[in-house]
Amino acid sequence: MNWTAFSAIVPVACVVAAAIAAMTAEAFRARGERMPMAPLGVVGLVGAAVASVLLWDQNATSFGVVTADNFGLFVGWVIIAVGVLTLAISGPPVDRQRLPQGEYYALVLFATAGMLLMAIASDLLIIFLALEIMSLAVYVLTGLKRQSPAAVEGAFKYFLLGAFASAFLLYGIAFTYGMTGSTKLDEVGRLMAAQALAPTLMQRMAVGLLLVGFAFKVSAVPFHMWTPDAYEGASPAVAGFMSTGVKAAAFAAFARVFLSAFEPLQADWSPLIWGVAAATMIGGTLVGVVQTSVKRMLAYSSIAHGGYLLAALLSANAIGKGAILFYLLVYAFTNLGAFGVVAMMEAPGRANDRVRDYAGLGQTRPHLAGLMTIFLLSLGGFPPLGGFVAKWYVFSAAVAAGYYWLAVIGVLTSVVSVFFYLRIVVMMYMTDVDRDVEVPAVPRIAGAALVVSAIAVFYLGVLPARVMDWAARSIGTIF
């Protein structure tokens, strides 16, 4: 048997193994016994990272449906980083909210495995499969706090709409298969190119249905309704995980399908994505302004950031090719960091999730407040932080591709978004301490994860050249 046929899926296998180990450990766990499940997961993720390093530049394929090209591996690293950071910040929320440990860590790892597979899948059906692996795990994670009505509501909404989206996606895949007789992206692309000059109605239907399916998963307006409820109901660590990992994986598949297989139909899908991107930037930002819950605010902010990512996807031209990957990376560290701080704010029995609860944090918890400020300013796009370079990269791609108005919408919405990011900063530094908010101590590992994220945000803002170059070369493997 030829073992090299399996090489492309080794990173996924590592994570799956860790997930199974976590599940088994849970089964043999005595009541009240604590098991090092998070470290177990980290081991699996580090294994996946190492395997990805070895696969770099190999362009390995397995079974003809999974291609570990540099694009997939780059997104894979983003997802692995998200996974490790999520595990590191999960300790406090899991303890404080008494979430079932084994299930929690196993589900995070299964979701991560699904994401990794989604990033490297080069067959529409495998993409769908990976999406379902990821989504099912995340639905359960959202509703894991069974006693909380918000969690159940969020999970239920997420599940129904997610199932709906999956149906759209599947329908799109069916149309594609009907036209081309294949679900493999490279063959689909070849056949599409052959008849690109006069796209048929079927082709347009396929594009539209796939677009809707992906738009749901990346929570683009107007398919974003589930996002705020799901993020609010979920534990903050899970919300951070969803807003970065799920988004990275979904965008990877989105970009791979649209930039390679459906690239010949660009003239048909680019106006659609233009509209969705503009609506997402505007909608996410404007609704974010009126939120009083930090988690909901961050949910709308992550919707808006999805809009910038869509703009990057749309204007992936020669100069702006790497923008989407660079943005995903910066956004992963920044947003997970912000949700991490929210997770640290939680006290047993109190979410401390109102904007008001952050009053005086700069005095009482200067380090936590300082980290939150860095993440928020990066989300708002201030130099010298990563968020600025990422946004700049996207807008320069948009300008170079001739999407001036999209760029104008982008910069103006980012000014509006600064308003709500600053509200939290105002609370932390410029408002007096509210005595009744008790913020528990931050465990060392979680603190270290947040510090590492902040350093990454600074690094990507000050010395971005190498990573940008790397992102541009990675995406070069798909188009």
Partner 1 sequence: MAFPILSSLVALPVVGALLLLLIRDEERNRPLIRNVALVVSLLVFAEAMLLWFEFDPASAEFQFVERRSWIPAFGIGYAVGVDGISLLLVVLTGFLTPIALVSAWESVHQRARAFSIVVLLLESAMIGVFVSLDLFLFYVFWDAMLVPMYFLIGIWGSDRRIYAAVKFMLYTMAGSVLMLLAILGLAALHASATGSYSFDLEALYEIAVPAHLQFWFFLAFALAFAIKVPLFPFHTWLPDAHVEAPTAGSVILAGVLLKMGTYGLVRFAFPLFPIAAAFFAPYLAGLAVIGIVYGALVAMVQSDLKKLVAYSSVSHLGFVVLGIAAMNAEGVQGAVYQMLSHGVSTGGLFLIVGMLSDRRHTRLIAEFGGLKAVMPRLVAAFFVITLASIGLPGLNGFVGEFLILLGAFTWDPRFAVVAASGVILSAVYMLWMFQRVNYGPVTNERNAALGDLTPRETALLVPVVALTIVMGVVPNLFLRPIGPAVERMLDRVHEQAPIEIRAAAPADPSTAARVAGAVR
* Site residues (vs partner 1, CB under 8 A): 319, 377, 382-384, 388, 392, 395-396, 399-400, 404, 407-408, 411-412, 414-415, 418-419, 422, 426, 429-431, 464-465, 468-469, 472
Q: Which is nearer to partner 1, 202 or 426 (CB)?
A: 426
Over the Cα atoms of the chain, what is R_g?
21
Q: Which is nearer to partner 1, 118 or 418 (CB)?
A: 418
Burial group, residue 27, by CB count within 10 angstroms (0-12, 13-18, 19+) = exposed
**Cβ 384 to partner 1 shortest distance, Å:** 6
What the block records as the tokens of 346 is 């939680």
**Cβ 458 to partner 1 shortest distance, Å:** 12
What the block records as the tokens of 84 is 């490790």
Tell me how far CA of residue 260 lies from CA of 71, 186, 476, in angstroms.
Answer: 12, 8, 11
Q: Which is nearer to partner 1, 63 or 404 (CB)?
A: 404
**Cβ 478 to partner 1 shortest distance, Å:** 19
**Cβ 465 to partner 1 shortest distance, Å:** 4
H helix count then E strand count, the chain = 20, 2
What the block records as the tokens of 57 is 């530049």
What the block records as the tokens of 98 is 């008494």
**Cβ 410 to partner 1 shortest distance, Å:** 9
**Cβ 83 to partner 1 shortest distance, Å:** 29
Q: Which is nearer to partner 1, 225 or 399 (CB)?
A: 399
Report how far residue 274's alpha carbon sits from residue 411's, in angstroms, rounded to the nearest whole number. 15
**Cβ 431 to partner 1 shortest distance, Å:** 8
Tell me how far CA of residue 48 lies from CA of 42, 164, 326, in angstroms.
Answer: 10, 32, 21
Cβ atoms of 371 and 451 closer than 8 Å: yes
Q: Which is nearer to partner 1, 177 or 382 (CB)?
A: 382
Q: Which is nearer to partner 1, 201 or 318 (CB)?
A: 318
Tell me how far CA of residue 318 lies from CA of 454, 474, 479, in angstroms.
Answer: 30, 13, 10
Cβ atoms of 436 and 351 closer than 8 Å: no
**Cβ 358 to partner 1 shortest distance, Å:** 14
What the block records as the tokens of 292 is 């009083």
End-to-end CA distance of the chain: 33
Q: Which is nearer to partner 1, 132 or 434 (CB)?
A: 434
Residue closest to 203 by CA, chosen among 183, 176, 182:
176
Q: What 3-state DSSP class applies to 184?
A: strand
H or E stretch including 248? helix 247-256
**Cβ 274 to partner 1 shortest distance, Å:** 17
Q: Which is nearer to partner 1, 77 or 395 (CB)?
A: 395
Q: Which is nearer to partner 1, 242 or 398 (CB)?
A: 398
